[in-house]
């Protein structure tokens, strides 16, 4: 504990500094409402991309339907807060969304993840579409293609910030746990992992469900700040957006994901007027990064303050 204390405290200090800096900038009027919206969008992309990267970069499977799970969270919040428009209702709906998303992920993950190969990509793509089609045909419950409007603004930037921090900590600690090591062993060599006694199917399904739950949280937060939800927001394009962040940042690097989410979020702000060109640039970037640097820009490197300290301590001797 004492060994880690220094790095834990410095991480806390870093988080507090970022939070304080944002607070000061917001109250000083440097960050206006428009920028705040973009910041919240970046926070939500961070949650989504971290979930994508957890499955893609750490367990080595290919999720392409994160938008579907996001839709579950978004609609859970939109529907449940209609009858119970309080913060308690909001958190309850978030929980319901998480449970439903997790359940769907287990149902889909079990048949597809026990196989080797890339079936998950197509299966999740299909499931995301099934979810979307079910929402479009949901009648009064989901209000069809027109979507639901008038959701109260539950999400403040502080809330998004808190969730990004909590989910990042949970994921990083998960990956450092013995289960997390099993996840990484599945990525490195599935057969070897299996012969060491790792239940690969269980590990893969668990990781996938974990990612689906975080996507659902992101969906709830998304609705809380946009205020409306329509099924066409959750097409494959959205999954691809987050896939791009995870890939460019580095497969197997949460630090990379966070950096990429910030960089691409800001870039998107400037490329908004040329959205067609944006997709051409991003798809070219995907191809070029894969050809020249297949691990993504940061590879599997993580920013670790504890390493920084131990290095300094060694130099001190």
Binding site for other proteins (CB under 8 A): 56, 60, 62, 108, 110-112, 115-119, 121-123, 125-127, 129-130, 133-134, 136-137, 191, 195, 236, 240, 243, 247, 251, 276-277, 279-280, 282-287, 290-291, 294
Cβ closest to other proteins, residue 152 vs residue 286: 286
The C-alpha angle with vertex 108 and arms to 104 and 112, in degrees rounded to 5, equals 160
Residues 6+ apart with CB under 8 A from 63: 52, 55, 56, 120, 121, 124, 208, 211, 239
Q: Tell me how far apart the alpha carbons of residues 111 and 215 are, in angstroms, rounded to a whole number.
A: 21
Q: Chain centroid to CA 274: how far?
A: 25
Cβ closest to other proteins, residue 80 vs residue 108: 108
Angle, helix 2-27 to helix 157-176, in steps of 10 degrees: 160
Q: How far is the CB of 34 from other proteins (least distance, A)?
A: 26
Cβ closest to other proteins, residue 123 vs residue 164: 123
Cβ closest to other proteins, residue 95 vs residue 136: 136
Q: Tell me how far apart the alpha carbons of residues 200 and 184 are, in angstroms, rounded to a whole number.
A: 11
Q: How far is the CB of 149 from other proteins (least distance, A)?
A: 22
Q: How far is the CB of 302 from other proteins (least distance, A)?
A: 19
Cβ closest to other proteins, residue 122 vs residue 166: 122
Q: How far is the CB of 75 from other proteins (least distance, A)?
A: 16
Q: How far is the CB of 138 from other proteins (least distance, A)?
A: 11
Cβ closest to other proteins, residue 122 vs residue 304: 122
* CA-wise closest residue to 242 among 9, 24, 42: 42
Cβ closest to other proteins, residue 95 vs residue 134: 134
Torsion of CA 293, 295, 298, 301, to 10 degrees: -140
Q: How far is the CB of 269 from other proteins (least distance, A)?
A: 19
- For residue 55, list its beta bridge partners: none
Q: How far is the CB of 121 from other proteins (least distance, A)?
A: 6
């Amino acid at each position: 504990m004492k060994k880690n204390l220094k790095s834990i405290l410095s991480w806390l200090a870093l988080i507090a500094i970022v939070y304080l800096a944002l607070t000061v900038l917001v109250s000083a009027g440097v960050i206006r409402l428009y920028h705040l919206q973009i910041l919240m969008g970046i926070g939500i992309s961070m949650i989504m991309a971290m979930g994508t990267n957890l499955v893609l970069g750490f367990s080595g499977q290919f999720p392409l339907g994160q938008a579907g799970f996001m839709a579950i969270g978004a609609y859970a919040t939109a529907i449940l807060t209609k009858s119970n428009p309080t913060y308690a209702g909001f958190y309850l709906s978030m929980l319901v969304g998480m449970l439903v998303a997790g359940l769907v992920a287990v149902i889909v993950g079990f048949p597809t993840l026990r196989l080797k190969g890339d079936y998950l990509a197509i299966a999740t793509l299909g499931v995301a579409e099934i979810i979307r089609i079910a929402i479009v045909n949901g009648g009064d419950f989901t209000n069809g293609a027109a979507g639901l409007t008038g959701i109260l603004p539950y999400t403040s930037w502080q809330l998004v910030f808190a969730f990004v921090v909590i989910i990042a900590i949970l994921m990083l600690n998960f990956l450092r746990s013995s289960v997390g090591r099993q996840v990484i062993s599945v990525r490195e060599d599935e057969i070897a992992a299996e012969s060491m006694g790792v239940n690969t199917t269980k590990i893969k399904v668990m990781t996938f469900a974990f990612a689906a739950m975080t996507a659902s949280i992101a969906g709830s937060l998304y609705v809380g700040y946009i205020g409306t939800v329509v099924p066409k927001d959750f097409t494959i394009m959205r999954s691809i957006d987050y896939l791009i962040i995870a890939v460019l940042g580095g497969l197997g690097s949460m630090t990379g994901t966070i950096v990429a989410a910030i960089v691409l979020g800001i870039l998107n702000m400037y490329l908004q007027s040329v959205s067609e060109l944006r997709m051409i640039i991003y798809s070219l970037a995907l191809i070029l990064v894969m050809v020249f640097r297949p691990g993504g820009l940061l590879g599997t490197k993580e920013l670790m303050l504890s390493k920084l300290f131990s290095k300094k301590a060694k130099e001190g001797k």
